Amino acid sequence: DAFPMPRIDDIFDHLSQAEYYTTIDFKSGYFQVGLDPEDRPKTAFSTRDQHYQFTVLPQGVTNGPPAFQRIVSQILGPTRWQYSLAYLDDVIIYSTTFDQHLYHLDDILNRLNDANFRLNINKCQIAQTAIDYLGHHIEHSNIRPNADNIRALVETRQPTTAKEAFRFLEAAEYYQQREKKSQATPITLSDDALDAFNKLKKILTNDLILRIPDQNLPFKIQTDASKIGIGAVLMQTHSHGDLPVAYLSKKFTPAQMNWPATEQECYAIIYAIEKWHKYLDGRSFIIETDHKPLLRFNLKQQLNSKCERWRLKLQQYQFTV
């Protein structure tokens, strides 16, 4: 089954105007999906004395997640991306007013009831103004990592293998899906690596609050480059100032470390715009950089072929520097 999984950042983007939330927890969600009799032998397994096969969708099968996502998406129907969303068995209902929320909640519950889905009511969060969803705490268009998840990361012991170090970084970057393999080879952290490990845990204990993007507000990008990499922040201008929507950083390759400063600073802009294309395409935004040669970069042809390609790419966007 090739049914696509929704992007988590797209899900959060659709919650920007909501004030009331309900999350729904299924009672053994996969086990509520029956298997066609012809497919049941494919799930067969043996014990010492018996041979068994599943009559419901088992956990751990390759097609399980996309099949379940397809079923839940079909149940929610046209309400998806309007006032309901689902990531597998994590369903959220969101509304701007309490009266709207009651209507939306009634509609979704009726749809689930018609599909004979049973809920674990003790784990449902109903009509809340602040809620935990997909590892984040959401409240009044603000989003931050879930406190329990951060606590687990902060209490992580110093990694002793490359695999443990990779797992820590993977969790800190919030479920970045990678197919990178890491072996459990013993390692000894250098003083710099140990310092970075402890600094990252300290950063995670701070209030990492991001605003959910609001398409009615202007966007602003701040970029910077150093000798070893680039960083950028995507912000929106509110009545009480600029507030962060997203951050990014990227380490330079050995070849990129040898680029002139102007190329490195320009690459920071290019990389940020490509990363946040879905927010910036077709609308005006501001780029802030501390590298003065970039102020007129987009206005004249570049002699360097790489810079000229970047200049032409930037012309498809509407921005001021």
Q: Residue 194: what pLDDT?
A: 52
The CB density around residue 94, as the number of other CB atoms within 10 Å, is: 25
Q: Are 264 and 287 in contact (CB under 8 A)?
A: no
Q: Residue 231: what pLDDT?
A: 85
> How far is the C-alpha of 92 from the C-alpha of 72, rounded, in Å?
12
Amino acid symbol at 121:
I
Average pLDDT over residues 268-292: 87
Confidence of residue 7 (pLDDT cuts 50, 70, 90): confident
- Minimum mean pLDDT range among 117-126, 257-266, 289-298: 289-298
Average pLDDT over residues 164-186: 42
Confidence of residue 124 (pLDDT cuts 50, 70, 90): very high
> How far is the C-alpha of 161 from the C-alpha of 149, rounded, in Å?
22
Q: Which residue has the tokens 């009726």?
A: 110
Start-to-end CA span in the chain (Å) = 46
**108, 128, 152 from 147: Cα distances, Å:** 29, 18, 9
Average pLDDT over residues 77-104: 94
Residues of the chain with CATH 3.30.70.270: 8-140
Residues of the chain with CATH 3.10.20.370: 215-320
Average pLDDT over residues 195-221: 66
Q: Two tokens at 255?
A: 């070849």
8-140: CATH superfamily:
Reverse transcriptase/Diguanylate cyclase domain (3.30.70.270)
Confidence of residue 147 (pLDDT cuts 50, 70, 90): low
The CB density around residue 107, as the number of other CB atoms within 10 Å, is: 16
Q: Residue 248: what pLDDT?
A: 81
161 secondary structure, DSSP code: B
The larger pLDDT score, comparing residue 240 to residue 158, is at 240
Which residues, in sequence order, are CB contacts of 216 under 8 Å at separation 6+? none
Q: Residue 199: what pLDDT?
A: 53
Pick the CATH number of 215-320 from 1.10.3720.10, 3.40.50.720, 3.10.20.370, 3.40.50.300: 3.10.20.370
Q: Residue 153: what pLDDT?
A: 46
**H or E segment to which residue 125 belongs:** strand 125-128
- Which pTM does this prediction carry? 0.65
Confidence of residue 187 (pLDDT cuts 50, 70, 90): very low
157 secondary structure, DSSP code: P
Amino acid symbol at 97:
T
